[in-house]
Amino acid sequence: MPSPGSAGLPQDAAEDKGADFETFTRRQRQIYMEAARLFVAKGFANTSMGDIAEAVGMSKAGLYHSIASKEDMLYRMIMFGLDDFEREVMDPARDVADPRARLETMIRRHVLNICRVNEPGGNPFTVVVNDTVGLSPERTAEVNARKRSYHRFVRTALEQLQAEGRLAEGVDPAIAAFSIHGVILSIARWRRRNGRLSPHELADEIAGFCLRGVLA
Amino acid sequence: MPSPGSAGLPQDAAEDKGADFETFTRRQRQIYMEAARLFVAKGFANTSMGDIAEAVGMSKAGLYHSIASKEDMLYRMIMFGLDDFEREVMDPARDVADPRARLETMIRRHVLNICRVNEPGGNPFTVVVNDTVGLSPERTAEVNARKRSYHRFVRTALEQLQAEGRLAEGVDPAIAAFSIHGVILSIARWRRRNGRLSPHELADEIAGFCLRGVLA
């Protein structure tokens, strides 16, 4: 299994690090984004590698040069999204000692992470990363393990708050962690381009809703 | 367009009302449920009418006798789910005058509606009803209009609460309505068969989280 960090494409650019790295990453992101947009609009099974190549202005052969199959594309895309998520959401939150502040950091950063992509129909990338129907069973298990570690991270913050008597009475930390995740992920499906609220205003709303929802 | 109530199958049973009506409805529900399970497990595009016929022990010809196409199956299934939702969730809530109690009625009943189906991987029926990628544009528009009326109903309750000074400061009723919906729908994806909490316990948790999230 290739490490997620090296799951780069096109291959040539991936091998030529240094000055080209940023260009490479931008291109890679664009390919994943167009593929995600097609997967959400037409469904994974109805989208061909040819459709993706056409959408990003590459030849089909060029796309197959660096990606073995459509399933491989989906896998790399999901790993890329989870890497982004860990770097932008999880890593900064890990350093926050107070569990309430840690939870708030995660919620706000996750909302901003989702709002960074703002297509007419929401954020197709987040939708695809969270809908793994096209993956092989082995890769589904690998992706689910990474998602579980996020769930555990949120639940642990909630359990700490509960031990300190700071949660509302009767709150179940596991259910609350799923609920917080559900609120945030749903943004990818309903937020439209040029929404009324800025990403930071939306982060305020969502953090307020979730924190009031769990805190005493 | 056929009315949703008459979108019955198999056709023969639908024409023979009365004593057979309950059996018919149970059979119809079973067909939709098996189809939803297949759509979620394999994807809509990867599921054939033959797969569905096999899963419910019908001949493919028998299935095509009452349903014109796979898209038609998806459409009827979604309409059936929305009818259920209106009868079990919206109609009882309409009669509740106090907006807080109305909101709580809707949340609890929606959670119970989702928990009624409890497959190993969650509730595939709710997942499919909320993912309309296989529908024609006309039918997508029709389904979305029904969903918008639910969104408006929740938002109106929140606006009433805000006008009465009963919402937490800064809550945006439209965003809060999306958030409440996001929490509830996510249950269909994470709740497993024989979950730790009973449906009513889960309804308590979700109603508590959402009401604390919005109320002053």
3-state DSSP of A13-73: HHHCCHHHHHHHHHHHHHHHHHHHHHHHHHCCCCCCHHHHHHHCCCCHHHHHHHCCCHHHH
CA separation for the pair A36, A43 (Å, rounded): 9
What's the pLDDT tens digit per position in B188-212?
999 987 789 999 999 999 999 999 9
CA distance B25 to B19: 11
Report pTM.
Answer: 0.86
What radius of gyration do chain B's Cα atoms show? 19
The answer, yes or no, to whether the previous bond of B10 is cis (omega within 30 of 0) is yes
Q: What is the DSSP letter of A19?
A: G
| Model confidence band, residue A24 (pLDDT cutoffs 50, 70, 90) | low
Measure the CA–CA gap between A41 and A34, rounded to whole angstroms.
Answer: 11
Region B167-172: mean pLDDT is 97
Query: Is A213 touching B (CB cutoff 8 A)?
Result: yes
pLDDT of A45 higher than 90: no
Element (H, E) at B55: helix B49-56
Using the predicted structure, report yes or no on whether residue A215 has a pLDDT greater than 80.
Answer: yes
* Burial group, residue B59, by CB count within 10 angstroms (0-12, 13-18, 19+): exposed
Tokens of A216: 């005493």
Is the minimum CB–CB distance between B202 and chain A shorter than 8 Å?
A: yes
How close does chain B come to A133, measured CA to CA in Å? 7
User: Is a pLDDT exceeding 60 seen at residue B4?
Assistant: no
Q: Which of A150, A197, A209, A212 has the highest number of chain B CBs within 10 A, making it the mutation to test binding with B?
A: A209
Residue from B192, B184, B174 nearest B208 by CA:
B184
Burial annotation A67-95 (CB, 10 A radius, 16+ → b, else e): beebebbbbbbbbbbbeebeeebbeebee
Asked if B7 reaches chain A (Cβ–Cβ under 8 Å), the answer is: no
Task: Please list, residue by residue across A99-134, b when 16 or more beta carbons sit within 10 angstroms of its beta carbon and e when fewer do.
Answer: bbebbbbbbbbbbebbbebebeebbbbbbbbbbbbb
Cβ contact B133–A178 (<8 Å)? no
Q: Which of A168, A182, A213 sits opposite B186 (nearest CB)?
A: A182
Q: What is the pLDDT of residues B59-85, one digit of tens each?
A: 999 888 878 888 999 999 999 999 989
Give CA–CA dist B175/A187, Å, rounded: 9
Average confidence (pLDDT) over B112-118: 91
Q: What is the CA radius of gyration of chain A?
A: 19
A43–B209 CB contact, under 8 Å? no
Q: What SS3 state is found at A119? A: strand
Chain A nearest-CA distance from B197, in A, is 9
Give the closest of A43, A168, A182 to B45, CB-based. A43
| Three-class DSSP category at A215 | strand
* Beta bridge mates, B179: none
B210 closest CB neighbour out of A41, A170, A213: A213
CA distance B24 to chain A (A): 32
Q: Average pLDDT of A64-69? A: 86
Query: What residues of chain B lie within 8 A of the CB of A39, using their CB?
Result: none
Q: Which residues of A touch B190 (CB under 8 A)?
A: 178, 182
Question: Are B175 and A202 a contacting pair, CB within 8 Å?
Answer: yes
Out of B45, B170, B206, whose CB is closest to A208? B170
Give me the pLDDT at residue B10, please: 43
pLDDT class of B23 with cuts at 50, 70, 90: low
Pick from A161-170, A179-188, B59-68: least confident:
B59-68
Give the three-state DSSP class for B119.
strand
Using CA coordinates, name the residue in chain A closest to B209.
Answer: A213
What is the model's pLDDT at position B22?
A: 58
Which A residues 11-30 touch B at CB under 8 Å? none
With CB atoms and an 8 Å threshold, state whether B209 touches A213.
yes
Residues in chain A: 216
Greater confidence (A36 vs B119) lies with A36
Residue in B43, B172, B178 closest to A44 by CB:
B43
Give the DSSP letter of residue A89. Answer: I
Answer whether residue B20 shows pLDDT above 80. Answer: no
Asked if B208 and A168 come within 8 Å (Cβ–Cβ), the reply is yes
- How far does the CA of residue A12 sit from the closest CA of chain B (Å)? 33
Which of A39, A175, A190 to mutate to test binding with chain B, by most B CBs within 10 Å of its CB?
A175
